[in-house]
Structure 1
Amino acid sequence: MAPRSSKRSSSRSILPTVLTYIGLAIGLVFAGFPILWMFFSSLKSNTEIFALPPKLLPDVYTLVAYASIFDDPVKIRFFINSYIVAGVVTLLTLLVAIITAYGFSRYAFRFKNTLNIFIISTQTVPPITLLIPYFGMVVAFGIFDTYFALILTYLVFTLPYAILLMTGYLNTLPKELDEAVLVDGGTSWTALWRVIVPVSVPGIVATAVYTFLLSWNEFLFALTLTKSMDLRTVPIGIQLLMGQHAFEWNEMMAMSVLGSLPLLLLYLFAQRYFLAGMTSGSVKS
């Protein structure tokens, strides 16, 4: 009877694992199939995309969609604009969020809880409700159709969450790190940049990924606050491929693939440094 009971217990322990892998496989197919369809569609001609019955793999692989993008300076400009806006927004967000989060995490000051509640409350406002007020302010300040308008607007949306994320991460770090710097004659500013920031690499990277992702994919405000082709971003460029009488689906898929690559590379880079940042700078030599 003992062998039978051991077999039953082992089968019961294996069953949840099998079900978990089955669920993960279904989720992988559900999430990955649209990406595969987008990639292989970018390697088809526009005519083959509409072939019936639809096929995942193209009959003839072609890079005509990618060639059309790289040969067009206007489309290249879309990517340059996205890199400029998303890069500047990410850097400014990190700078402000790190300094602000350090103040919230390490100091007690008046109206601290009120400011925290205000920052959290900003995340409950749907961005679309702010579109008309922002448009009016941008026009009134004379910055319509400029990089500054996009960067300033995106900062309003990225900073609150970045501050909350960084504050939560800095709260997990012991205050003894700061005190050790002060004992050695350093200042709070030295403690922040020489000790806290190196230890906070995982939180900083996570914040940077979120900020870059939000800025890169934003569509509504990029469409509203710009009008010239010299300032359009990648999401707007994809939308502009939808003509009045025909859609360049293969070019849309190719631009979507190229637009997804920076995010993919950013995630790969972030994954590499997550564990390394957990311990770097935390040991005093």
Structure 2
Amino acid sequence: MSDVTVRHGRPNHWLKAAAFTGLVIGALYAGLPVLWMLATSFKGNGEVFAVPPKLITPGFSLDAYTAILTDPARLRFFMNSYIVAIAVTLLTLLTAMLSAYGFSRYEFPGKKLINIAIVSVQAVPPITLVIPYFGLMVALGLYNTYPGLILTHMVFTLPYAIIMMTAYFNTLPRELDEAVKVDGGNAWTALWRVLVPISVPGIVAVGVYTFMISWNEYLFALTLTRTDAMRTVPIGIQLLMGQHSYEWNQMMAMSILGSIPVLLLFLLFQRRFIGGLTSGAVKD
């Protein structure tokens, strides 16, 4: 009996060992570039090209961070990213919740066609829309403005947000709405007083995703802005690439600083984020 147990236990043991080894290799593959970026941000620009390359050098320096955090023009990039990303997140959440409630609780003509259109928008490569949106923003007088960037980002964040919020609302029983109506309330009351408070995990998941998409967006932030006063962090990093030289240490420092808001958001709302994704993906 013990021999059988051992024989059957060995494959399981090796399978776990192989899975653990694969996870370690994957973690190193994903984490080493980030570690190298962090180490480079604490080097002088000349040390970046040292041969042989060194992860840690004796010349530990904060010059790259000092150059960025004391430069008003570069701090402006961060302010622009915060303004655009926060506005996009709030407006997307508001619009998505209202739209999702309608899709989840009501039947109306053209509902399926609208759903198909929302899903189809997700399949359109953003680069194909650069020229049409450029012409549209110029015609509307929104070129090189916050509203122009915000509205453009919402085109790509809103479809996913509506799909996710609709799936999440579908998991909530309709009896909740009926109970509110029995107590004299209406659909507006049911949405804001009942569904929204118990949908916090789904709202957090959509909000974090939306913020990440807007914060990291590069293509339209480059195309729809003209002056440095309107540039966002991804464009600010690209501007550190000069014609004759690259400020590699400052690029890495700015990349680290630009990663912190998204990282903090995920760490603060990790449990709600994962819970919202799984709840919106399963319907009872």
**TM-score normalized with structure 1 length:** 0.94
* Contact 2:205 2:274 (C-alpha < 8 Å) held by counterparts: no
Decide which moves more: 209-218 or 9-18.
9-18
For residue 257 of structure 2, what is the amino acid of its counterpart? L
Cα distance between partner residues in 2 of 1:171 and 1:266: 26
Moved over 3 A (4+): 272-278
For residue 223 of structure 2, what is the amino acid of its counterpart? T
- Which ranges in structure 1 are unaligned for 5 or more consecutive residues? 279-285
Cα distance between partner residues in 2 of 1:277 and 1:89: 20
Equivalent in the alignment of 1:224: 223
For residue 65 of structure 2, what is the amino acid of its counterpart? Y
Cα distance between partner residues in 1 of 2:276 and 2:3: 49
Equivalent in the alignment of 2:65: 66
* Contact 1:131 1:221 (C-alpha < 8 Å) held by counterparts: yes
After TM superposition, give the deviation of residue 274 of structure 1 in Å: 4.6
Equivalent in the alignment of 2:172: 173
Matched, 1:191 2:190: yes
Cα distance between partner residues in 1 of 2:184 and 2:22: 55
Equivalent in the alignment of 2:201: 202
After TM superposition, give the deviation of residue 142 of structure 1 in Å: 1.2
- Which ranges in structure 2 are unaligned for 5 or more consecutive residues? 278-284
Equivalent in the alignment of 2:282: none
After TM superposition, give the deviation of residue 277 of structure 1 in Å: 7.8
Matched, 1:115 2:114: yes
Task: Give 1:66-105 correspondences, 5 Å limit.
Answer: 66-105=65-104
After TM superposition, give the deviation of residue 276 of structure 1 in Å: 8.5
After TM superposition, give the deviation of residue 259 of structure 1 in Å: 0.1
Cα distance between partner residues in 1 of 2:177 and 2:15: 46
Cα distance between partner residues in 2 of 1:241 and 1:61: 21
After TM superposition, give the deviation of residue 14 of structure 1 in Å: 2.3
* Contact 2:205 2:272 (C-alpha < 8 Å) held by counterparts: no
Cα distance between partner residues in 2 of 1:73 and 1:35: 26
Equivalent in the alignment of 1:281: none
* Contact 1:43 1:250 (C-alpha < 8 Å) held by counterparts: yes
The 3 A distance-change label for structure 1 pair 116 and 276 is closer
Matched, 1:271 2:270: yes
Task: Give 1:32-47 correspondences, 5 Å limit.
Answer: 32-47=31-46
The 3 A distance-change label for structure 1 pair 266 and 149 is same
SS of equivalent residue, structure 2 residue 269? helix
CA deviation vs aligned residue, 1:185-229 (integer Å, no higher than 9, x gap) = 221111111111111111111111111111001111111111111
Cα distance between partner residues in 1 of 2:193 and 2:8: 53
CA deviation vs aligned residue, 1:232-273 (integer Å, no higher than 9, x gap) = 000000000000110000000000000000010010112144
Q: Tell me the percent identity.
A: 61
Task: Give 1:126-275 correspondences, 5 Å limit.
Answer: 126-274=125-273
* Contact 1:69 1:75 (C-alpha < 8 Å) held by counterparts: yes
Cα distance between partner residues in 1 of 2:156 and 2:272: 26
* Contact 1:198 1:277 (C-alpha < 8 Å) held by counterparts: no
Matched, 1:26 2:16: no
Cα distance between partner residues in 2 of 1:277 and 1:249: 38
Q: CA RMSD in A?
A: 1.5
After TM superposition, give the deviation of residue 176 of structure 1 in Å: 1.6
Cα distance between partner residues in 2 of 1:131 and 1:217: 17
Task: Give 1:1-16 correspondences, 5 Å limit.
Answer: 2-16=1-15
For residue 59 of structure 1, what is the amino acid of its counterpart? P
* Contact 1:199 1:277 (C-alpha < 8 Å) held by counterparts: no
